[in-house]
Amino acid sequence: MRWIGIAAVQAWRYTFGLLTPPGTCKYHPSCSAYAIEAFRELGLVRGGILAGWRLLRCNPWSHGGVDHVHDRTLFRQHGERGRV
């Protein structure tokens, strides 16, 4: 099922995503790359929630920065640690 989310992000990238000038994203990786990584690691539902939360944080008042899916605190399993 995760491929549905990945396909939706890829479709957005090659249509409306082309209207966004390169280098304007505040976060690294970009929101679309983050969403694809979230779908691959967490599946359709949890990855979609995490990608949606990332989109909500992407606003004119955010500071941005480096933000990877494996550094998340949401949906962390008991005893699971982020990668270093």
* pLDDT tens profile 5-58: 999 999 999 999 888 888 788 888 989 999 999 999 999 999 999 999 999 988
- For residue 80, pLDDT beyond 80: no
Please, are residues 41 and 75 in contact by the beta-carbon 8 Å criterion?
Answer: no
Q: Is residue 83 part of a domain?
A: no
Q: Is residue 82 part of a domain?
A: no
Owner of token pair 């599946």? 43
Residues in contact with 49: Cβ distance below 8 Å, sequence separation at least 6, in sequence order: 74, 75
Question: Strand locations in the chain, DSSP E?
Answer: 27-28, 65-66
- For residue 84, pLDDT beyond 50: no
Q: What is the span of the domain harbouring residue 57? A: 2-9+25-71
Q: Is residue 39 part of a domain?
A: yes
Q: Is residue 35 part of a domain?
A: yes
Domain count, the chain: 1
Say which DSSP state 65 is in: E
CA 54, CA 10: separation in Å to the nearest integer?
Answer: 17
Q: Give whichever of 52-56, 69-73, 80-84 has the largest mean pLDDT.
A: 52-56
Q: Is residue 49 part of a domain?
A: yes
Per-residue confidence (pLDDT) for residue 51, from 0 to 100? 93
